[in-house]
Amino acid sequence: MKTLPPKCVDINSVVSFCNCLAVSDSEPVDVAARAFCDLKKAGNDNINGDDLAELKKAIMDMESKACC
């Protein structure tokens, strides 16, 4: 099962990524990705693009392991 909407995967800006997830309510979204965006919305300024890259890598690794 995909846990990130395909249109959101290539977005590297935290704000844009979270906005993409917000408008993708009909598609499956990983719980960690939702929590990541909730932290950013709550005003956590320590979250940056590097954190987003690590999150997406972890989710993609999890997806690839689950598929086989």
| pTM to 2 decimal places | 0.85
3-state secondary structure of 65: helix
Going by the DSSP 8-state scheme, the letter that residue 27 receives in this structure is S
Q: Which residue has the tokens 């890259």?
A: 53
Report yes or no on 1 lying in a domain: no
| Total tally of structural domains belonging to the chain | 1
Domain region containing 42: 6-66
The three-class DSSP label of residue 24 is coil
**pLDDT tens-digit series, residues 23-68:** 877 777 889 999 999 999 999 989 999 999 999 999 988 888 876 5
Beta carbons of 44 and 18 less than 8 angstroms apart: no
